[in-house]
Amino acid sequence: MSQLKVFSIKKNIHEDNKKVANETREYLKSHNAFLINIMSSPGSGKTTTLVATINGLKEEMKIGVIEADVDSDVDAQAVQNAGAKAVQMHTGGLCHLDATMTRGGIDQLEIEDLDLVFLENIGNLICPVGYDTGAMKNVAILSVPEGDDKPLKYPQIFGKVDLLIVSKIDVMDYFDFSMECLEERVRKLNKDIKIIPISSKTGEGIEDWLNWIREQVKEMS
C-alpha cells in the first residue's frame, strides 16, 4: 500500500476564486479527469458512500479522492483501502474549501492517470456551498436520520447542487421521514435537481448513483 500524502492549508485565499475555479475545470478537462464536489453534514455517510462508489467503479475508472478534514486521516485511509488514490487535506479549522485549496489538492493527487476525482468537502451545510471549488458537478448527501425538513433550514445548498443523495434509507422505518415531503421541498428550491435515495448498507440505489456518474463522465469525453 502506498504511503498516504497529508498536507495542510495555512490560510484561505478568497481573491479571484472564480478565476481559479474556471482554470481548474479547464485543467481537469485537459487531463480527461472529472471532479465531483460532495457536501453534507458530518455523519451523513459521505465516506461510506464514497467507499461503495469506489467498489462499484474501480474496475472501469481510475479514481482519486481529496479528503478535507480539520485534523484526521481516517476517511482518506478508508477510501485508499477501498482502492482509490487519496490525499488528505488538513484545513486547520476552516469550514469550507475554495478553488485555490482544491487546486492544491489536485496537484498533490497528481491526476494525470485518473478518470474521476471526488472532493469530500468539510462536513456542514452552510459554508461549503458558498465557494466554487472548480468541480464539474456538485452533490449533496442528506441522511434519513437528519430529517426531511433540512431544505427548509438550509435552502442554499439544496438550491445549488446538481444531485441530492438521500442516504441511509434502510433505516427510514425508524424515523419520521417523508421522501415525498423532502422531494417537494427540494424541488421548490431547485426544479432541475436529481434525487437518488440509496443505502450503502443494502446496496439499494447505488447502481442509479453509479449510472449518473457514468453519464456525467461520458458527456465530458
**What residues does each domain of the chain span?**
5-220
pTM score, whole prediction: 0.91
Each residue's pLDDT tens digit, 103-131: 999 999 999 999 999 999 998 999 999 99
Each residue's pLDDT tens digit, 32-66: 999 999 999 999 999 999 999 999 999 999 999 99
Q: Tell me the pLDDT band of 7, cut-offs 50, 70 and 90.
A: low
Q: CA separation (Å) from 48 to 33, 71, 113, 117, 131?
A: 22, 19, 24, 16, 24
Give the Cβ contact number of residue 26 at 10 Å: 11
CATH number for the segment(s) 5-220: 3.40.50.300
